[in-house]
Amino acid sequence: MSAAKRVQQWATFARTWHIFDCKWQDPYESANIIKKYLMGQHKPIYHPLNDCGDVVVCINSREIALRGDEWRKRAYFHHTGYPGGASWTLAWELHNKDPTMIIKKAVYRAMKGNLQRRHTMQRLFIYHEENVPEDIMKNVSSQIRQSRLVPTRLDHIPEEEVKQYPKVMDYPKDYVLK
């Protein structure tokens, strides 16, 4: 085997570390994206028995965005196993307790339930803020594209730009500015 082929072989089967910024991302949309990288489905050599999945580091999981009224409508079910041990936790309550749990459960549920799933989940790192430990961050060499645009707040746009932005609505002639 030539040196170039050996490097190609090494590069094909090496694990890449991806980073994913969860800021203003829907966890259930992004779980389908993260899942592909975790299982290695983005690679042409993918096979369910081929251990070719990558590592994904999710940051800013506290800043995820749910659609509409889902923060107070979506419930997470847990049963202790004892009679009367059922409990339903709303999404915002769960996010208060552990800001990494919603994205973790979303990725877990997006994958097919087989014996490989729990091992694949071991390759997912989730952090609720931007500070990632140094030994994790030094491996990262790739970034996963976000599916939703991060909105800009009006008070973060410079005032001059807001004033000079093309206007659509003009006040009527007898309007008193408020």
Partner 1 sequence: MAGLVKVGFSLARNAIISTSVRSIATTKSLNLKDIRECKEGSTLIVEGVTVPSPRTELLIRAENIPGYEPVVPSSKPPCYMCALGLDVKHTDVLILSQFVRTDGCMLPRRITGLCRRQQKKIGKMVTMAQKAGLMINLTPDNCKKDPRKRREHKKFNTYYDERTIFMKYIPKPLDRFKR
Q: Which residues contact partner 1 (rule: CB under 8 A)? A: 24, 26, 28, 63-68, 70-72, 77, 90-92, 95, 109-110, 148-149, 151-155, 157, 162-178
Asked if 130 contacts 144 with a C-beta cutoff of 8 angstroms, the reply is: no
Query: At closest approach, how far in Å is the CB of 50 from partner 1?
Result: 25
Q: What is the β-pairing status of strands 55-59 and 17-21?
A: parallel
Query: At closest approach, how far in Å is the CB of 72 from partner 1?
Result: 4
Of 80 and 152, which has the nearer Cβ to partner 1? 152
Asked if 67 contacts 79 with a C-beta cutoff of 8 angstroms, the reply is: no
Of 135 and 159, which has the nearer Cβ to partner 1? 159
Of 47 and 153, which has the nearer Cβ to partner 1? 153
Backbone phi, psi, residue 165, to 5°? -70, 140
Of 5 and 79, which has the nearer Cβ to partner 1? 79
CA distance 175 to 116: 67
Query: At closest approach, how far in Å is the CB of 41 from partner 1?
Result: 17
CA distance 4 to 8: 6
Query: What is the Cβ-side half-sphere exposure of residue 152, based on CA atoms within 13 angstroms?
Result: 6
Query: At closest approach, how far in Å is the CB of 76 from partner 1?
Result: 10
